[in-house]
Chain A
Amino acid sequence: MNEPLSQLLFSPSPIVSSLSSSQSAVLSTHSISHPIDLIISDMLIHMPIRVAHEKNIMAQFFVPSSLMILMNFIHSSMGDVNSILEQNFAYQIIQALSLANGLICNSFHQLEIEAFNELHRQLSFNSHLPIRFVIPLISDELDEKQNVSSLIKFNIFFFICLL
């Protein structure tokens, strides 16, 4: 994934469409049309954050679920039974977090206080990293298709009010 992604985001020349040339390697369906102001990259994809840092482009690290899961990934590097692959992965997460301009987490701050504090301890070198919680990220279309009842929506709203 890294090569096509790197070409798409950071290549100085636009990627040629599959319809216009057979000589250039076609690595994506089309090229990016506007200059990039901000990159938001998933917690499993770290290369864009590293390169964005080198090119002075703002980059945010996105955690699609609980912050606790991210902390479990990081903690997994500390055990003796884990593989080198896991250790490398945790190291890459820490490195990406050290270079990111912020972290966006799909959860509630109030549910993640323990993980939030632990992450700040781990990021002692970047303890001012802004961490933003953006729940509820609920798709209206998905709700309609999966017949999520209005009662569930009301409960979520009520829960937010309580917090």
Chain B
Amino acid sequence: MAEIQSLTKVGHIVLITPPLFGHMIPLLNLAKRLSAHFHVTYVVSASKLNVLEQRGFSITNEKDNIVSTPFGIDFIGLFDGNDDDYEVSSL
């Protein structure tokens, strides 16, 4: 099955998002739909990879340094020095 998928996925799309959940989640949903037909790489600040994994959007595979979802999306974290949490924690 994996071989068939790799044969049919001919294009490579890279999606780039800022570390803001209102931007990350819509682009991730688009990435999931695109991943049915293309190689998809999702680029975000490395500081958000753990949160995406905790929320079930991604998993760490056997190579340990590559994080991907069951949809076959590659996640790449940028070491951009951004460790801020922009979420509103309380009102």
Once A28-B46, A28-B77, A42-B17 are accepted as A-B contacts, the answer to whether A64 and B22 lie under 8 Å apart by CB is yes
Cross-chain contact of A137 among B33, B39, B55, B75 (Cβ < 8 A): B33
Of all chain A residues, which has the CB nearest B46?
Answer: A29
B14 touches A1 (CB 8 A): no
| In the assembled complex, A4 has its CB within 8 A of some CB on chain B | yes
Of all chain B residues, which has the CB nearest A5?
Answer: B78
| In the assembled complex, A148 has its CB within 8 A of some CB on chain B | no
Interface size counted on chain A using CB atoms at 8 A: 41
- When distances are taken between beta carbons in the complex, the residues of chain B under 8 Å from A45 are 16-18
A44 to B43, CA, bound (A): 14
Of all chain B residues, which has the CB nearest A43?
Answer: B23
- When distances are taken between beta carbons in the complex, the residues of chain B under 8 Å from A78 are none
A40 touches B65 (CB 8 A): no
| In the assembled complex, A34 has its CB within 8 A of some CB on chain B | yes
A18 to B15, CA, bound (A): 23
B29 touches A42 (CB 8 A): no
Kindly provide the distance from the CB of B72 to the nearest chain A CB, expressed in whole angstroms. 12
| In the assembled complex, A82 has its CB within 8 A of some CB on chain B | no
Binding site for A on B (CB under 8 A): 11-18, 20, 22-23, 25-30, 32-33, 38-39, 41, 43, 45-46, 49, 55-57, 65-67, 74-80, 82
Binding site for B on A (CB under 8 A): 1, 3-5, 8-9, 17-19, 26-42, 44-45, 48, 62, 64-65, 104, 106, 134, 137-139, 141-142, 145
